[in-house]
Structure formats: C-alpha cells, structure tokens
Amino acid sequence: MPIRERLALHFFGQMLVLLLLYASTALLSAVKFIGLDPLETALPYQQISAFSHVLLQAGLLTGFIGVGLALAARANLPVLRWLAHGWTLLLALTFAAGAFGLLEGRHMLELPPLLDIIQAALIIAVIAALLSHPQNRATPFFLWALALAICALAPLVPLLPPADPLRDQALSSLVVSLIFYLAYALAAAAICAWLVPSSANRLLLNAGLLAFTGVLLSLAALNTVAADDFSRGLALIGALLAPLAYLCWLSAGPVADRWTQLALFAFLLSNGLLGALLAVPAISQWTQGTRLNEAHLTLTALAALSLLLGVALKTRSANYKNSLLAFWVFLAGLVLSSLALIAAGLVQTYLERILTIGYLDTQNFLLPLYIFWVIGLLILALAITLFAFNFVRRQKI
C-alpha cells in the first residue's frame, strides 16, 4: 500500500477513535435530561456537552484531512508525516483540555484559543503541502481546500477583542453557521465530485449555489444585532433558495454507494429544509436556543460523517456489501436521534416561547422524547463501533 494511503488510513483511524469518544460523551450529556445521571455533580452538563462538540468537530476535521490524502494524486510525504505527528499531538491536547474541563463556553466553538491557533496552522500547512503539487490542483481539490480553510480560520475570528457582548455573540453564531452551512457543504460537494465522476460536470454550478445560499443563511445570524429589512430579506432569500440548491445537487447524477446517498439526503434535510426554516427571521425569533438548532447542527455533522465513512471504506478497498449492517444501524440511529431532537425542539418552542411555560416544567414534558434521543445515540454509538471494528480488521470490510 502506498505511504500516502497509509497516512490517509491513519487519519481515518483517528477519526473513528474521536467518533467513539464523541458517542460516549454525547450519551453522558443526553442522560442528564432523563434523570439517570450518576455523574451529576462530578461532571456538569456544560463541561461534557462542550467536550462532545469538540470531539465531533475534531473527528470531522480529521476525516476531511484523510480525504485530501486519499484523493491526492501526489503528496509531499516527509512534510505530511511531520504534520500527522503534529495533528496527533493536537488531538491529545484537545482530549486533555476536555478531560480537565478547560473548554470554553462559546457554543460549538469551545476549543481554547491556543489550540484554535495550532489547529488552524496545521490545517493550512496540510493544504499547502497538498496543493504544492500541480497534479492536485483540480477544481474539486480547490473546493476541498477552501472548505477546510474556512473550518480552520473561521474560529479565529471571535478571538478578536469584542465590541460588545451582543456583537460577540452574533459573530460567534455567524462563524458556526459558516462552518455548517458553507464549509461542510462545499467539502461534501468536492468529495461527491471525486466519488461520482458524472457529477463533476455540474460541480461549479452546484458549489456556487451551495456557497451562495450558505452565505445568505449564515448572515441570518447577524439579525440579533442588525435586525433591519435588508438583513431579514437576505435571510429569507437564502431560505427560499436553499431547498432548490440542495435538490439541484441531489439530482446531479447517480450516486455510487449508500453512504453517499445518505449524506446527500441528510444534507437536504438539515441545511436545505430544517436549517433554511430556522434562518427565517420570523421563525428564528421563536426557535433560537431550542433543540431545533441542536437538531440542525447534529444532522449536518452526521451528513458529513456519512460521506467521510464512505470515503474511508473506499480507501480501505472494502466491499460495500459487507458494511450493510453498520450502515443500516447508523441510519436507524441518525433517524431516531434527529426525529427526537426535532420533536423536542417543536414542543419546547410551543411550551416555552408561545405558552411561556417555565424551562424546568417544559423539561418534564420532554422526558419521553429525550429517552428516544438517548436510544438513538446508543444506536449511533453501536454503528460507529461496528464500523470501527470492521475498519481495523486485516481483511475486507
């Protein structure tokens, strides 16, 4: 096996370890809502929830780096080996920061500033090392590099001195939206163009539509600061165009495997429908801070994860038919956990925001939905475990 592919498998292996840790921490944070938490005082919800967010995003970034290595025509292997060691050290520091409760309170941006800077430097170095070879400078590779650069550099923006707390909150929301609405979608479009050559003919059109709607939907985060007619109009245009953009992408051509099909449909449901609705100002004023937002971010992350798992299988030269069990278990967990969160968000919006029922009283009504959420997370954890077990076996999956 070429050294470049071994490095790619190294990153995919790290991705699976991070995902197993994410599944564990996500379960620990979810059970706190159903009254079965043995670590209620020793491990506060804010700490374990932030830890799960950081592990999930670190896993996705690690997988995206693995994709770049797997699909590159050439690579500067000596440099990439050192960068792989640096990334491993960063992941160890990230785990230590989460284990010792050093993660900050910015939602979905909880990584400490120093680790944010190191992460950005390593990602930019990986991009530069891969783009240094002319054979890697195809359009899908540039899109992959752009998406990864957004994931690396966007979290640095909120580190600037804030003008006031409200603007700082809006800026953090904008950064998270750019990562989930824009970066993940562009990376997915680039990966699909590699996996499905027939879709490469419309790559620029699809990427342009996804980028345009992603920027408009991200700007909706600024409505908390500048709630004028212009910003509301941009958000509404993005919400109207998003379903069309994702449907256009979905119809680009036949899809090679089930993992990619699942990723495309999940992106349509997350960013194309749910995320678009949540960006409408008339709706977001009621839903902001509810489980609907968490459902959108989680579903988008799982859509990207499904695509990465498909690439990992292909890099492993695996037989997709033998990975059906992990796929169907993953699909069941994704559907159940997402539906439970969406239902909880709808009930929470109605009870808290419309009927003005208190937060604690609302949580009592949400208990059955939280139980289904926990079951969905358990199924997802099982799927990731099955996939990881098959991935490390010295035979085809």
State residue 162 phi and psi, 5-degree precision: -75, 145
pLDDT of the residue at 396: 46
116-145 pLDDT tens trace: 999 999 999 999 999 988 888 888 899 999
Token pair belonging to 132: 């240094």
The CA angle 219-60-244, to the nearest 5 degrees, is: 45
- Residue 371 covered by a domain: yes
What tokens appear for 205 in the block?
Answer: 């059109």
What is the share, in percent, of the chain residues with pLDDT greater than 70?
92
> In the numeric block, which tokens belong to residue 264?
């495309």
- What pLDDT sits at residue 65? 97
pTM higher than the cut 0.75? yes
**What is the domain range of residue 117?**
3-392
The answer to whether residue 387 is domain-embedded is yes
Q: From residue 215, how far is each of 57, 68, 153, 286, 290 by CA, in Å?
A: 20, 24, 16, 22, 22
Name the residue among 313, 190, 210, 296 with its Cα closest to residue 259.
313
Is residue 249 within 8 Å of 189, Cβ to Cβ? yes
What single letter denotes the amino acid at residue 102? L
pLDDT (0 to 100) of residue 184: 97
Per-residue pLDDT of 155-213, as tens digits, reads 998 887 766 777 778 888 899 999 999 999 999 999 988 887 777 778 899 999 999 99
Residues 336-374: pLDDT tens digits?
999 999 999 999 999 999 999 998 899 999 999 999 999
> What total number of domains does the chain contain?
1
Give the percent of the chain with pLDDT over 90: 61
Phi-psi label, residue 162: left if phi above 0, alpha if psi -120 to 50, beta otherwise: beta
What is the SS3 assignment for 162?
A: coil
Please identify which residue in the block is written with the tokens 């099909």: 261
The pair of structure tokens assigned to 238 is 């993005």
Task: Give the phi and the psi of residue 271 in degrees, each rounded to 5.
Answer: -80, -35
**How confident is the model over 58-83, as a mean pLDDT?**
91
Q: What is the pLDDT of residue 163?
A: 64
Token readout for 74 is: 């050439």
Please report, for the domain that includes residue 368, its CATH number: 1.20.210.10
The answer to whether residue 397 is domain-embedded is: no
321 within a domain of the structure (yes/no)? yes
